Amino acid sequence: MSLASPVFLTMQNIEAILLALSVEATIAVGMVNLLISGGLDLSVGSTLAFTGVVTGLALNAGIPVILAVILGLVAALGVGFANGFLVSKMKINPFIVTLGTNMAVRGLLLVLAQGRAVLNLPPEFTVIGQGRLFGIQYPIYVMLALVILGDFLVRNTRFFRQNYYIGSNERAARLSGINVDMVKIINYCIVALLAGVAGLMITARFGSASVTVGSGLELRVITATIIGGASLSGGEGSVLGAFLGALFMGILANALNLLGVDVYWQNLITGLILITAVVIDVINERRKSQAQSKS
């Protein structure tokens, strides 16, 4: 790749890749838990924009940065709790629930912002997204820290291991004493909170809260987790895998850009890659199950 484009391996380009995927990767840390437990969340794109708008409006109303940030995250948490409650207690299919909240939250934020971006955010806030440490922008550190922490927790803690049991067999998980409803609610809260964090970073980076940001994001995040080994039928996946999936997609988009491939083609290619990843997964599963049924 560095042969085809001399820019590819430069520090600036690597930073650009990481910055671009910091949103997807941050949310993927939470999304992978949902996939492991057999759920999914289509509302993360709207939640991200919602947090940005709430925080932006609060800042413009003169509320201190720290409170405005907390307000934005609480708004995100509210969406997550609603998702979790409807999925676990009302037993509604997560696809339907989060498809609904995705639209509802997008509508709500458009109402709040009256359809316009929230501009003129104070520098004390935008530093979150634009500030640098050792010449690298903060969102990259946030993403890396969350990925490392998330991977450690999902591998090593009892709480997160419960997701594998729920995703593999929910009824057996219940009989094994796992509080399935509570774990699910917390999963949705975590992913919403991470979408909120990503929303704060992107809003701060651009210096304004866009009302359209994050649309279609949910599918890119889910694609990354599936490329990274998660399965829509639950019981499988890892945070590191999801991060690598996001990294792969980020590098690919970047490479296509540098090679001057039209942005429309990029969507087509991403779509084909997702399908290929799933097909490989299905073929592997089939091969395994054939090996089993030989007796």
Partner 1 sequence: MEEILRAEHISKRFPGVLAVDDVSFSLNKGEILALIGENGAGKSTLSLILSGIHKPDTGNIFLEGKPVSFNAPVDAIRAGIAMVFQELSLVGSLSVAENIFANRQPVGTTGKIRWDKLYRQTSEFLGRFDLNLNPRQQVKFLSMGQQQILEILKAISINPKVLILDEPTSSLAESETAYLFENIRKLQKQGISIIYITHKLSEVFRIADRVIVMRDGKHVGTRSVSEVNENDLVSMMVGRKITSLYGDSGKTNGEEYFRVQGFSRKWAFHDISFALKKGEILGFFGLVGAGRSELARAIVGAYPRDAGKIFLEGREISIRSPSDAIHHGIAYLTEDRKGDGLFLSLSVKENLIAPSLHSFTKFKSFLDFRRIDTFAEKSVRDFTIVTPSLSKKISNLSGGNQQKCLIAMWMGTNPKVILFDEPTRGVDVGARAEIYHKLREMVSTGVGVVMISSDLPELIGMCDRIIVMHQGRITGELKRGEFSEERIMAYAAGISPREIAQQEVNYG
How many residues belong to the site for partner 1 (CB under 8 A)? 28
* Residue 267 within binding range of partner 1, rule CB under 8 A: no
User: Binding mask 229-248 vs partner 1 (x if CB under 8 A, - otherwise)?
Assistant: -----xxx------------
Angle between helices 44-60 and 180-206 (to 10 degrees): 50
* Residue 70 within binding range of partner 1, rule CB under 8 A: no
User: φ, ψ for residue 148 (rounded to 5)?
Assistant: -65, -45
- The answer to whether 160 and 29 have CB atoms below 8 angstroms apart is no
Q: In whole angstroms, give the CA distance from residue 201 to residue 205.
A: 6
User: Binding mask 124-163 vs partner 1 (x if CB under 8 A, - otherwise)?
Assistant: --------------------------------xxxx-xx-
H or E stretch at 133: strand 132-133
* Residue 265 within binding range of partner 1, rule CB under 8 A: no
Q: In whole angstroms, give the CA distance from residue 65 to residue 126.
A: 10
What is the Rg, in whole angstroms, of the alpha carbon atoms belonging to the chain?
20
Residue 132 — left, alpha, or beta (φ > 0 → left; ψ -120 to 50 → alpha)? beta
* Residue 91 within binding range of partner 1, rule CB under 8 A: no
Nearer to partner 1, 173 or 194 (CB): 173
* Residue 294 within binding range of partner 1, rule CB under 8 A: yes
Please pick, from the candidates 61, 134, 171, 262, the single residue that binds partner 1 as defined by CB under 8 A.
171
Q: Which residues bind partner 1 (CB under 8 A)?
A: 156-159, 161-162, 164-165, 167-169, 171-179, 234-236, 288, 291-292, 294-295
